[in-house]
Amino acid sequence: MFKIYNKQSSKSNFLRFLIIGSLSLGTMVSCDKELEQFPSNAFAADNFWTSESNANIALTGAYRGAIEYGTQVVPSDWWTYCGIVFMEFATDNAYDRRGDNSTQNRLTNGTLLPNNNVVNGYWKGSYKRIAICNDFLENIDEVAMEQAKIDRMSAEVQFLRATQYFYISQFWGSAPLVTTTLTPDEANNVDKASKSELVAFVENELKAAAAVLPSFGELKADEAGRASKQAAWAFLGRLYLGEKKFNEASQVYKQIIDEGDNIIDPDYQSLFTPTNEASSENIFSSQYFGGQAGNALPQHAYPAVASGWHIVNPLGSLADAYGFDDGTPLSYDDPRFDYSDMGANRDPRFRYNFIWDGSTFAGKTYDCHPDSTGSVDQLTYSKQATRTGYGLRKFFDESFSGNLRSDYGGNIPIIRYAEVLLSYLEAELEAGNPITQELLDLTINAVRGRASVGLPPITETDADLLRPILRNERRIELALEGQRLWDIFRWEIGDEVLVGDFWGAPFPNSTLYPTTSKKIDAQSRWYVTTKNFREGVDDVWPIPETEVNVNPKLGN
């Protein structure tokens, strides 16, 4: 659902109507399982498509898709906080406090099966939104309103449908391509399309949508959250990167840059809070409204000392990817590294994104030391507390004082301009085009050089030496934004980064560490888990077992 509010003020009351409308529409277009095939009857179809106000409700329903509000641990949609942030549990970036049996963890630890409820959640959410979009596109021309409005709404819904098939093509490969409303019998007998067919469909739909959508700079103040040309181009760029069409990716990312509507915001930390979520760096975001469509991530991710469930635990492999503030890599042996204040002398994004032992969060001291037996956040394998020695700060306004489950209204970015610039550089590099200092300054140095980060510029122009620098920059800049697993899949590095033991923060002076950590590390890092990613198996998701049971064609 898109959010309506003045970019310089609080979110408007008009959004309340749209949220209520989308709740009703969600019932209208929901249906049986399988491919969410046939809209049911919250509104009768023969009298719904009769007014512009109803068309706006339908459009809002398409934006909402399968997003559910309140707490959830299994994603209902790619764009819920659960669908975005919790995706990181399957990577080398974060660990799920629920433990090794968490179904997010099972995506990449060598135990993925077709009955995985996370895979099922993304699948059902995709096809539910697709069904909503198909219904919209089949009926919008019946509404008596200006053709320009119909064309724009149709382009928005084309974009939304194409994004779902983008995800499907990248994570499943071969899957049904459904572009019309199906009867139950039709849905239960549908054939799979090849990955190349899905990719071609997404490419064509995104191009068509971009040709009609307004540019980001043309969005009015009360249209914040709606799709723009830049959003369509950015997903098209992702598609080209995923398919290794690097020259095409470069061209489409350059279009976004040349349009000139988006910026690298000087204040990194505020991009993820309500105070600055309307920044033109945030090209497209998952929309939340406190009190009615609240973001429950604070309940799940706040530390115990702040009444949270501490489910999101950044891994040491991600924390250690943030170097020192002069741009040099982290080393525990460097005198600048301070075990008592791990944020000292570091890349500022480490401090913006994480909490660690002894740091302050929401005005409270975060005490997760293994020896702190009286602390609710003590690092153990049993408390409702950290499992890594780190917690999450990113996405939170620490002055927030409402109900953690329902009152927080912070958006979560889906596409940022920082991603566009880093992707443009990657496309140029992988296409074999010359890397110049001008290109570096336009892209990676603009990202890491923003005022609140201020890291020195990259000057490396050799492609083989630049590649690991760029990939690390992408990892730390976009951390916990749901991109890492897709990056691992498309870079084909799962057998490198998702195999072996994973560790948390170091505690060299802990007296309890030697007897409480399940494995002992020479650097006194807390043992977290072990992964056994299967290359060629875990990087292509199985179609859910429940779907194959209904339609055996999907298992072929």
pLDDT digits (tens, 9 = 90+) for 354-387: 999 999 999 999 999 999 999 999 999 999 999 9
Mean pLDDT of 23-37: 38
pLDDT reported for residue 224:
87
Residue 550 neighbours by CB distance under 10 Å: 18
Gap between the Cα atoms of 69 and 83, Å rounded: 12
CA angle in degrees (0–180, nearest 5) for 306-310-313: 130
Closest CA to 81 of 411, 377, 338: 411
State the pLDDT confidence band at 42, using cuts at 50, 70 and 90. low
CA distance 168 to 346: 38
Rg, C-alpha atoms of the chain: 23
Which residue is it, tokens 């003020």? 9
290-294 mean pLDDT: 93
**Which pLDDT score is estimated for 62?**
97
Q: Look at residue 45 in the predicted model and tell me its pLDDT.
A: 66
* Residue 262 burial (CB count, 10 A): 25
> Do the Cβ atoms of 273 and 459 come closer than 8 Å?
no
Instruction: Give the pLDDT mean for 309-338.
Output: 98
Token pair in block for residue 516 = 């409480």
Give me the residues paired with residue 500 across strands: 531
Residues 130 and 143: beta-carbon distance below 8 Å:
no
pLDDT at 547: 95
Q: Given this model, what pLDDT does residue 378 score?
A: 98
- Positive or negative, the Cα torsion across 73, 75, 76, 82? positive
User: Which DSSP letter does residue 536 get?
Assistant: T
Query: For residues 22 and 57, is the Cβ–Cβ distance under 8 A?
Result: yes
C-alpha 53/C-alpha 159 separation (Å) is 21
Closest CA to 319 of 502, 511, 118: 502
pLDDT tens, position by position, 165-174: 999 999 999 9
**Rounded CA gap, 120 and 177, in Å?**
17
Nearest to 246 by CA among 418, 433, 421: 433
* 480 burial type by CB count under 10 A (0-12 exposed, 13-18 middle, 19+ buried): buried
pLDDT of residue 44: 63
Average pLDDT over residues 392-396: 98
**Of the candidates 300, 401, 310, which has an alpha carbon nearest to the alpha carbon of residue 81?**
300
Centre a 10 Å sphere on the Cβ of residue 117 and count the other Cβ atoms it contains: 16
Percentage above 90 pLDDT, the chain: 89
State the burial class of residue 333 (Cβ atoms within 10 Å of its Cβ: 0-12, 13-18, 19+).
exposed
Classify the phi-psi angles of 480: left when phi > 0, otherwise alpha if psi is within -120 to 50, otherwise beta. left
Q: How far apart are CA 34 and CA 552, in angstroms?
A: 12
SS3 289: strand
Give the tokens for residue 61: 């329903």
Dig out the tokens for 364 from the structure.
């409270």
- Determine the Cα–Cα distance for residues 176 and 191; give it in Å rounded to an integer: 6
Q: Nearest 5°: phi and psi at 314?
A: -60, 140
Instruction: State pTM to two decimals.
Output: 0.93
CA 412/CA 2 separation, integer angstroms: 13
Q: Calculate the alpha carbon distances from 196 to 168, 173, 177 in Å.
A: 12, 8, 11
* Residue 26 confidence (pLDDT): 36
Res 13: pLDDT: 29
Instruction: Give pLDDT tens digits for 225-248.
Output: 999 999 999 999 999 999 999 999
Reply yes or no on whether the pLDDT at 305 is more than 50. Answer: yes
Cα 146 from Cα 169, distance rounded (Å): 35
What was the pLDDT predicted at 363? 96
Instruction: Kindly give, in sequence order, each residue whose CB lies less than 8 Å from that of residue 113, ignoring residues fewer than 6 positions away.
Output: 106, 542, 545
Note whether 152 and 109 are within 8 A (CB): no
Residue 252 pLDDT level (bands cut at 50, 70, 90): very high
Helix (H) or strand (E) holding 169: helix 147-171
Distance (Å, whole) CA 550 – CA 354: 44
Return d(Cα 359, Cα 210) in angstroms, integer: 45
**Averaged pLDDT, 22-42:** 39
3 state DSSP class of 354: strand
pLDDT value at 2 more than 60: no
